[in-house]
Amino acid sequence: MGIGIIVLIVVLAVLFLVIGFIWMTYNGLVRLRNQVKNAWAQIDVQLKRRHDLIPNLMETVKGYMKHERETLEAVTSARNLAQKAIGTGVGAQAKAEGELSSALSRLLAVVENYPDLKANQNFMALQEELTSTENKISFSRQYYNDSVLTYNNKTQMVPSNIIAGMFGFKTGEFFEVTAAAEREAPKVSFG
Amino acid sequence: MDCPACKGVVVVVEYQRIELDYCTKCYGVWFDAGELSLLAERLDLRGAALDVNQIAALPEKKAAEKARGCPICRKKMKKVTLGSAPEVLVDVCTRGDGLWFDGGEVGQVLGQLKDKGAAADEQGRVIDFLGEVFHVRG
Amino acid sequence: MWEQIRSNQTRTLVLVVAMGLLLLLVGYFLGEAIFGSGIGGLVVAILIWVVMNLFAYFQGDSMILAISRARKISPDDHPRLYNVVEEMKIASGLPKIPDIYIIDDPSPNAFAVGRDPSRASVAITSGLLERLNRDELQGVMAHEISHIKNRDVLLMTFCSVLLGTIVILAWFGSRMMLFGGARGGRRSSGGGGGYATLIIVAVAILLMILAPIAAQLIYYAISRKREYLADASGALYTRYPEGLASALEKIAGSTQELKTANQAFAPMYIINPFRSKGRAASDLTSTHPPISERVRILRSMAGGASLAAYEKAYQEVRGSGRGVIPPSALVGETPVAARKAEAVPAEPGKVERARETSDLLWKYSNYGLVNCECGTKLRVPPKLRGSSIRCPHCGRVNPLSSRP
């Protein structure tokens, strides 16, 4: 009894605190890294949804837009290119999707000249879906970037950066809109 | 909703995208506050004369007609007159839920509509709309 | 970032603890005054509180939805509403899209319920749904989803249970003392401890009167703070403060009161469902900050959409150095720009939105549809007897065969 026991208790307590800190920080980092992964998956889901919508849109629009062959073909080919770009890396995919976005907004700008089409129930429903998908893409990108920011802060700030370094947590990459086409696309229709 | 005058079954009549509630038994018509404001906007009538709350603030009209409860909030409605030549006696919900035109009142509107050209004031144009919707009635 | 809004809320915590202490005080003194045992009173108070909490936790959301006569809608019933909610689910990172309910009421309002983010619901009145355009609807839903994400629903449920327990205890106490004859009175007639008893009874009576009022004021203070926070996160999610601002303005224009509102759930709504005319702006007895002020803050965000931009606008508009966003939420935040207003050409207009909403309500009430050849539509309630109906516009007799 005496000093030995007290020292032992103090050492155990410190050890307990250190292990507790490592444990909690590690779990926090894992949670954030998973959040980033999920956010990335969400972007993919929305991009795919947009690809799926386009054939329907083309089918509906075709009958009304006899004089817009080029605009229509641009959308279809942009969609096919975007389809092919899946899995070719963030930059390439973002570029292809950007082209698709601008082809689509050109199409929807032209729709203004076709009042019959605008009044078509089927088209109105499709346009709502398309507008919303466009929103969902940008919101999922926004959430992804927010998640990456939180995760990166955690991996770089003291003291959690020590744990991140120890277990090899790498910082995440932001989803920047690299395609010039998308940045400059006249956003006519997508609210 | 039940007819505030005779408790008959009320059907909804949608004419030019405006909904009116119409009693199949006594032919009375309920004009909901929201629908009235939609119609006012459509006709481009921005005046306060068509706001249900403003109509409810009009002086009470003494009439022999029985008092009626609002079909929405059940409170007793107030009797006021709308328009000028012809004046139409209506019941208005004091809470602002809407207007009730008795079957007889709608008939009166129909009778007088033919004598007159375009109605001068805003309330007259709403009455004209009613006349147009209930062209034939039950 | 905003994950931290729910933690480190010292001021909210202090207020909640104050309410809890108030409950204990009421329990103790009422127990002492009525059956001569402060501990007994405490036990009763805590027992009532626990039971009510359990009920609120497990049944609270379905009860509120049932009382409001809310109907759950499917994605096909109102695709735009469903889409907007899903967009905000994505922007906020909720694990699951909340159930969506619609309330048949011309008064414009909306609320969120649900004890945790994976089991939540949002409800909107038909009156609000038909009034808002897409951006405004998005703003309102962002505000509601912020309440879910910030765990305000759980916090406010917890607080309203505390408040409810205090009110119930005070009510019981006053009835027991008036009609049952206070135990303290009898004991004092037996002699001994007369003064002490008198003081206890006096304190108990005072608490009975004041505690419910004090609890209510605390409750309102917590609620107002959470409203600002939900506005701030709503602006962040949508990146478009103007949407919520203009929605709030439209809501403020209406004077209709909600038919099914209940005082206890008032903080769950986007605006206070009980609006008496001429109520002072910063009134202590309001669950919500004045709408005009909320709109002004949102419009003063100067092209930003971050929590920091809201904080700055809040301080500007209120003219004080005190903020509303917990400092921990502002750490590491990068400035974000608000989205520019864009014209959406194919958006349904006012009348179309009204028809969309009322069609939905007729469908839920099992009304049959008769399309007359003259273009007039007749919607027939299930209770209408007979096999045909005459169109009041053109006089054609239409069969009633197409009824469900």
Residue B136 to residue C377, Cβ atoms within 8 A = no
Which are the catalytic amino acids of C? Answer: 144
Which band of pLDDT confidence, cut at 50, 70 and 90, is reported for residue B113? Answer: low
Residue C87 to residue A127, Cβ atoms within 8 A = no
Paired residues of C123 in beta bridges: C101, C111
Q: Is C76 on the interface with A (CB under 8 A)?
A: no
Q: Is C373 on the interface with A (CB under 8 A)?
A: no
Which of these ranges, B17-26, B58-67, C104-113, C203-212, has the smallest mean pLDDT? B58-67
Contacts of B38 (CB under 8 A, 6+ apart): B17, B18, C350, C351, C354
Which of these ranges, A134-143, C228-237, C387-396, has the smallest mean pLDDT? C387-396
Residue C239 has a pLDDT of 92
pLDDT above 50 for C282: no
**Least CA distance to C390: which residue of chain B?**
B138
Residue C344 has a pLDDT of 59
Q: Is C101 strand, coil or helix?
A: strand
Give tens-digit pLDDT for C13-48.
788 888 888 888 888 888 888 777 888 888 888 898
* CB-based contact C156:C221 (threshold 8 Å): no
Which band of pLDDT confidence, cut at 50, 70 and 90, is reported for residue C9? Answer: low
Q: Which of C7, C82, C87 to substitute to test the interface with A, most A CBs within 10 Å?
A: C87
Which residues does chain A have within 8 Å of residue C345's beta carbon, measured at their own beta carbons? 108, 111-112, 118, 188-189
pLDDT above 80 for C269: no
Which residue type is seen at A104? Answer: L
Residue C345 to residue A39, Cβ atoms within 8 A = no
Domain boundaries, chain A: 49-140
Residue C91 has a pLDDT of 94
How far apart CA A49 and CA A71 sit, in angstroms, is 21
* CB-based contact C208:C120 (threshold 8 Å): no
**Residue C153 falls in which region: left (phi positive, over 0), alpha (psi -120 to 50) or beta:** alpha
* CB-based contact C125:C164 (threshold 8 Å): no
How far apart CA C162 and CA C156 sit, in angstroms, is 10
Q: Is A161 on the interface with C (CB under 8 A)?
A: no
Helices C152-175, C38-67: axis angle to 10 degrees equals 130
Task: Give the residues of chain A that fall short of pLDDT 50.
Answer: 178-191
In this complex, whether C and A touch, counting 3 or more CB pairs under 8 angstroms, is: yes
Residue C255 to residue B96, Cβ atoms within 8 A = yes
Which residues does chain C have within 8 Å of residue A136's beta carbon, measured at their own beta carbons? 83, 86-87, 90
Residue B131 has a pLDDT of 79
Which of these ranges, A40-49, A108-117, B119-128, C125-134, has the smallest mean pLDDT? B119-128
* CB-based contact C103:C121 (threshold 8 Å): no
Query: What is the CB-side half-sphere exposure of residue C113 using CA atoms within 13 A?
Result: 22
Residue B11 to residue C358, Cβ atoms within 8 A = no
Q: A40-56 b/e with 16+ CB inside 10 Å = b?
A: bebbeebbeebbebbee
The pLDDT of C381-403, averaged and rounded, is 80
Residue B7 has a pLDDT of 86
Residue C27 parent element (H or E): helix C10-35
Which residues does chain C have within 8 Å of residue A128's beta carbon, measured at their own beta carbons? 79-80, 83, 346
pLDDT above 90 for C237: yes
Domain boundaries, chain C: 1-365, 367-404
- Which residue range(s) make up the domain with B75? 10-133
Residue C100 has a pLDDT of 96
Q: Is A143 on the interface with C (CB under 8 A)?
A: yes
Residue A179 has a pLDDT of 42
Q: Is C346 on the interface with A (CB under 8 A)?
A: yes
- Work out the end-to-end distance of chain C between its first and last CA atoms, rounded to an integer number of angstroms: 52
Give tens-digit pLDDT for C84-116.
999 999 999 998 999 999 998 888 889 998 878
Which band of pLDDT confidence, cut at 50, 70 and 90, is reported for residue C325? Answer: confident
How far apart CA C368 and CA C287 sit, in angstroms, is 41
**Least CA distance to C375: which residue of chain B?**
B15
Q: Is A127 on the interface with C (CB under 8 A)?
A: yes
How far apart CA C37 and CA C197 sit, in angstroms, is 12
Helices C134-149, C79-92: axis angle to 10 degrees equals 50
Q: Is C335 on the interface with A (CB under 8 A)?
A: no
Mean of per-residue pLDDT scores for chain C: 81
Residue B16 has a pLDDT of 87
Nearest-CA distance C146 → chain A (Å) = 14
Q: Is B124 strand, coil or helix?
A: helix
Contacts of C171 (CB under 8 A, 6+ apart): none
Which residues does chain C have within 8 Å of residue A39's beta carbon, measured at their own beta carbons? 93
Look at chain B and report how many structural domains it folds into. Answer: 1
How far apart CA B31 and CA C182 sit, in angstroms, is 57
Contacts of C280 (CB under 8 A, 6+ apart): none
**Least CA distance to C337: which residue of chain A?**
A142
Residue C350 has a pLDDT of 83
The secondary structure of residue B84, as a DSSP letter, is: S
Which residues in B have their CB inside 8 Å of a CB on C?
9-15, 17-19, 22, 24, 27, 32-35, 38, 41-42, 53, 73, 95-97, 133-138
Q: Is A131 on the interface with C (CB under 8 A)?
A: yes
Which band of pLDDT confidence, cut at 50, 70 and 90, is reported for residue C359? Answer: confident
* CB-based contact C317:C289 (threshold 8 Å): no
Which of these ranges, B100-114, C85-99, C285-299, has the smallest mean pLDDT? B100-114
Q: Give the one of A143, A149, A189 whose C-beta lies nearest to C344's C-beta.
A: A189
Nearest-CA distance B27 → chain C (Å) = 9
Q: Is A105 on the interface with C (CB under 8 A)?
A: no
Residue B120 lies in a domain: yes
| Number of Cβ atoms within 10 Å of the Cβ of C259 | 16
Q: Is A49 on the interface with C (CB under 8 A)?
A: no
Nearest-CA distance B136 → chain C (Å) = 5
Sign of CA dihedral B43, B48, B50, B52: positive
**Least CA distance to C75: which residue of chain A?**
A129
Name the neighbours of C, counting chains with at least 3 Cβ pairs within 8 A. Answer: A, B
Q: Is C136 on the interface with A (CB under 8 A)?
A: no
**Least CA distance to B16: which residue of chain C?**
C376
Q: Is C79 on the interface with A (CB under 8 A)?
A: yes
Q: Give the one of C127, C255, C389 whose C-beta lies nearest to B11's C-beta.
A: C389
Give backbone dihedrals phi and psi of C265, rounded to 5 degrees, phi first: -95, 5
Nearest-CA distance B15 → chain C (Å) = 5
Which band of pLDDT confidence, cut at 50, 70 and 90, is reported for residue C185? Answer: very low
How far apart CA C74 and CA A53 sit, in angstroms, is 20
Which residues in C have their CB inside 8 Å of a CB on B?
106, 127, 130, 255-256, 259, 350-352, 354-355, 358, 362, 367, 375-381, 383-385, 389-395
Contacts of C178 (CB under 8 A, 6+ apart): none
pLDDT above 60 for C182: no
Residue B138 to residue C383, Cβ atoms within 8 A = no
| pLDDT > 90 in chain C, percent | 21
Q: Give the one of C86, C135, C239 whose C-beta lies nearest to A142's C-beta.
A: C239
